[in-house]
Chain A
Amino acid sequence: MRQSKPSFSFNWRKTAESKLFFPIVALALILLFDLIIIPNFFRISFQQGHLYGNLIDILRNSTPVIALSIGMTLVIATGGVDLSVGAIMAIVSSVAALMMNPFVLGTQLQGIVNDPTYSYSPFWLVLVVPVIVATICGLWNGLLVSYGKIQPMVATLILMISGRGIALLITNSQRIVIVYEPFTYIGQGWLILPFSLYIVAALFALTWLITRRTSIGLFIESVGVNARSSLFSGIDEKKIKLFAYAFCGFCAGIAGLIGTSYISTSDATNVGLNLELDTILAVVIGGTLLGTGGRFSLMGSVIGALVMQAVSTSMYAIGVSANSLLAVKGVVVILIILLYSQQVQDFIRKITGQTRLKETKS
């Protein structure tokens, strides 16, 4: 092996091996494409105290996926996967709408439903109860995986299949329109930047603190790398997994609130549809290994979510229809995943290694 010598020049090799290198390259490639193809893609204007522009749109539309991918990162790091997050979002949507407006159950309301200041339950309950329900859904997944010893993909598949049915049952298969202003502010409000952005920023900070300032993050990685050896070194593998799934449910709850507020309706068939797939890809792009688990990068997952949304936004901007977008997304995903494949990684390492070699020689 060649000894690596300390170098004063910019260390290419270290950069290329960083977890964030590939997600950032992917994002940069897509933005570069936008810069060339779409005029004024980067223009940001300031109107009525808000920032507007394509970049802001990307940030705003990606908030549910960012929230989901934060939770999903932990689950994937334990070596699992959670397919049910989209269905949990639908359940959250139904519960929240029902709490504000339970007329579908035949409840007599004391106020006018179309009044934007009226809600059947107090606002804090409308926020807390759906998130608790989502966390319980996550706990259920976690119980099946850790104590039931069922494969994660199968265990969460059950809730993925039946979750939307349950969500429709909750609202008696009706769409409930939400006009309650404090609730719609979650997804539609602006404080210079979109309000939902602050929520996911807070969630990110909380998760970062939990995983990087306590030993939980280390435990999760250890369980992912080798569950058996972590058990022998005294880590309760089952409880760690349970925590990861419950936390993923919690994140899905927050994403569900944002998603519901964004469209002002409890639409159990469409809220969070296919988002579990976007989320898993976001985490994979972020450099956390699907299937094997282990080292994870929260920031990588957030950038991954931005990559997914940037693809969608730029395709919309060049006039690709929403349905055809899926095909483009599929191709982009294949390209990005190929970028991650061992062959390409080796190739890049070779190039960057040689660059460094030349630098040190000269």
Chain B
Amino acid sequence: MRQNLITFVDKKRQMLPLLAAIILFIFAYTIGAVYLPGLRDTQTFLNLFNQTPYLLVAVIGETLVVLSGGIDLSVGGIVALVATASAALIRIGWNPWAVILLMLAIGTAMGAIMGYCITYLKVQPFIATLAGMWIGRGLAYTISNESVAINDRTYELLSRIKILIPGLSDVVTQRGAYITISVVVAMTLFAMVIYITHFTRFGRTIYAMGGNNGANEQSARLMGLPVDRTKVLVYTFNGFCSALAGILLSIYTGSGHGMYGSALELTVIAAVVIGGTALTGGEGYVFGAVFGVLITILIQTMILIQGTLISWWTLIMIGVITLFFIGVQAFFSNLKIGQASGDKASRAKRYRQMLSYGGGALAVVVLSLLAINLLSKPDTTTADCELKPFRRDQAASLIKDGAVITYERNGGRNCIDELYAVYPDGRITGDNGVQQIEKQVTPEEVEQLLSFINELGWYTDTMYSTSHLPCGVCYQYFTTVVYQGQEKTVEAVNGGTDAPAEYWVVTGRFLTFLPEFTP
């Protein structure tokens, strides 16, 4: 039995880091779903994909570079440059499709130049791509120091169109589980790259080049493989992927800024490692990339839903998990060395050594999980509060009484439940279940607000309801507006991106308009 296990481990050794990633993801999701009810929602699961097609695309490109034995730090810089430049070009009236093509060309060209420097001028990959990162980010800031919004119909459509999942959604009301177009783009690329790496000469050359501290590159060269060409192509392809990631990010955020993708290269490299690719190159699977990304995002989502932890825990957790996976990789590469050299006694010794490394890494993970639990204990005020359902009936009766706007906000850190009503004569009432407040403004101001909301497209398709279980610190909103004989209610949850941007403009306006409860 033991012998069988060892034979299996030896044969499938390369698969094991990938398996570890898959198991960790399933394990973490199960644990998360048990403790955090927010994770059980189907849409929350799909949002793991919806939020980060750009990360997946960047990780796919980086995986190829790492497999070939190099490293590329320029991802974040190119993403920032592409996002800002495309936003700026669209603002001056370019055709969005032309912009997208141009941006892909720029990213590809930057990758090609870096690949050329690395391959033919023998510049260290680290330094050449570092310069690429600086140039990209610097140019992005040169284009604009501030965030540039994209107001373009095509971009809007690309970010808004929902591809509903059959069986989990209702086509008529457009509600239910969905993915976005960006996810489809990322997944198509993913499938293509898996094909390229495993079924083409180019892919096999990449595997042949990587690993063994550059010695394999020499062997590949001696075997007559086109090492130089492949190297340039790999960096070129990663430039293309970074540019595509930048476009997906600008579609997702609807804007461009030089700050976008800061420290993205770290997240990307960590995701590559978590996905089971050895940073020495030559070993790993592009397939693992998706799990590297999923685990990274899952940590982020869990920390967001959990609500009491500061977002910096994400980075710490990613660091710890990266350490764990590096431990796993070291374990298996040592296993290989143990095989090559030796008698039974030294092998047994090595196995013991590796087990202690692996156990140590696991212990670190468990301890840090415990530490998180202990640290989050003192702040229990948020954990006990309970999300209340919308007071739909009360809102309806307020409208019947002549209110033109009802606005309900509940959830959040302290599970507030506030219901406001605005009347055409300028009277504003607020009720949070405990106290009632009132404020008086002029009727003109109310009229102004109503026409403002109308101009934003409240009664058009621009505004649509999105509603699912909010995360721990997020609010959910229920707003009804009556204007010129029209009445429409829009529900939304913040923390995600599903609600239309105009909706947040409206709620932002409310914040300055409505009275405040005294805590």
Whether the Cβ atoms of B326 and A164 lie closer than 8 Å is no
Tell me the dominant secondary structure on chain A's binding face. helix
- In the bound complex, what is the Cα–Cα distance between A281 and B137 (angstroms)? 18
Residues of A within 8 A of B127 (CB): 280-281, 284, 290, 333, 337
- In the bound complex, what is the Cα–Cα distance between A158 and B365 (angstroms)? 13
A362 within 8 A of B: no
In chain B, positions 116-161 with a C-beta closer than 8 Å to chain A are: 117, 121-124, 126-128, 130-139, 141-142, 145
Residues of B within 8 A of A169 (CB): 310, 312, 316
Whether the Cβ atoms of A341 and B122 lie closer than 8 Å is yes
Q: With A331-B135, A337-B123 given, is the CB distance from A158 to B323 under 8 Å?
A: yes
Interface residues on A, range: 35 or more
Residues of A within 8 A of B327 (CB): 148
Residue of B nearest to A163 (CB): B319
Whether the Cβ atoms of B312 and A164 lie closer than 8 Å is yes
In chain B, positions 305-323 with a C-beta closer than 8 Å to chain A are: 310, 312-316, 318-320, 322-323
- In the bound complex, what is the Cα–Cα distance between A81 and B127 (angstroms)? 12
Query: What 0/1 pattern do residues 196 to 223 of B give for CB contact below 8 A with A?
Result: 0000000000000000000000000000
Smallest beta-carbon distance A111→chain B, Å:
27
Residue of A nearest to B334 (CB): A149
Residues of A within 8 A of B132 (CB): 330
Query: What 0/1 pattern do residues 251 to 273 of B give for CB contact below 8 A with A?
Result: 00000001000000010011001
Query: What 0/1 pattern do residues 113 to 157 of A give for CB contact below 8 A with B?
Result: 000000000000000000000000000000000001111011101
Which of the listed residues A155, A158, A160 has the most CB atoms from chain B within 10 Å of its own CB? A158
A107 within 8 A of B: no
Q: With A157-B269, A165-B315 given, is the CB distance from A329 to B138 under 8 Å?
A: yes
Whether the Cβ atoms of B130 and A281 lie closer than 8 Å is yes
- In the bound complex, what is the Cα–Cα distance between A165 and B266 (angstroms)? 14
Query: What 0/1 pattern do residues 282 to 307 of A give for CB contact below 8 A with B?
Result: 00100000110000000000000000
Residues of A within 8 A of B136 (CB): 327
B65 within 8 A of A: no
Smallest beta-carbon distance A104→chain B, Å:
13
In chain A, positions 183-233 with a C-beta closer than 8 Å to chain B are: none
Whether the Cβ atoms of A168 and B318 lie closer than 8 Å is no
- In the bound complex, what is the Cα–Cα distance between A294 and B71 (angstroms)? 22
In chain A, positions 326-340 with a C-beta closer than 8 Å to chain B are: 326-331, 333-334, 337-338
A28 within 8 A of B: no
Smallest beta-carbon distance B412→chain A, Å:
19
B294 within 8 A of A: no
Residues of A within 8 A of B145 (CB): 321, 323
Whether the Cβ atoms of B131 and A330 lie closer than 8 Å is yes
B382 within 8 A of A: no
- In the bound complex, what is the Cα–Cα distance between A347 and B133 (angstroms)? 29
- In the bound complex, what is the Cα–Cα distance between A284 and B320 (angstroms)? 30
Whether the Cβ atoms of B316 and A333 lie closer than 8 Å is no
A161 within 8 A of B: yes
Whether the Cβ atoms of A327 and B134 lie closer than 8 Å is yes
Smallest beta-carbon distance A89→chain B, Å:
16
B279 within 8 A of A: yes
B456 within 8 A of A: no
Q: With A149-B330, A169-B312, A337-B127 given, is the CB distance from A324 to B318 under 8 Å?
A: no
Residue of A nearest to B269 (CB): A157
- In the bound complex, what is the Cα–Cα distance between A161 and B326 (angstroms)? 14
B29 within 8 A of A: no
Q: List 20 A-B contacts (CB under 8 A).
A: A148-B327, A149-B334, A153-B71, A154-B279, A154-B322, A154-B326, A155-B326, A161-B322, A162-B318, A162-B320, A169-B310, A284-B127, A290-B126, A324-B138, A326-B137, A326-B138, A327-B136, A328-B138, A330-B133, A341-B123
Question: Can you name 17 extra interface pairs (CB under 8 A) apart from A321-B142, A326-B141?
Answer: A81-B126, A151-B279, A155-B326, A161-B315, A165-B312, A169-B312, A277-B134, A280-B130, A281-B127, A326-B135, A327-B135, A327-B138, A327-B139, A330-B131, A330-B132, A337-B123, A338-B121
In the A-B complex, list the 7 residue pairs whose CB atoms are closest, starting with the nearest.
A327-B138, A162-B319, A323-B141, A330-B134, A326-B138, A330-B135, A165-B312
Q: Which residues of B contact A (CB under 8 A)?
A: 71, 117, 121-124, 126-128, 130-139, 141-142, 145, 258, 266, 269-270, 273, 279-280, 310, 312-316, 318-320, 322-323, 326-327, 330, 334, 357
Q: Which residues of A contact B (CB under 8 A)?
A: 81, 148-151, 153-155, 157-162, 164-166, 168-169, 173, 277, 280-281, 284, 290-291, 321, 323-331, 333-334, 337-338, 341-343
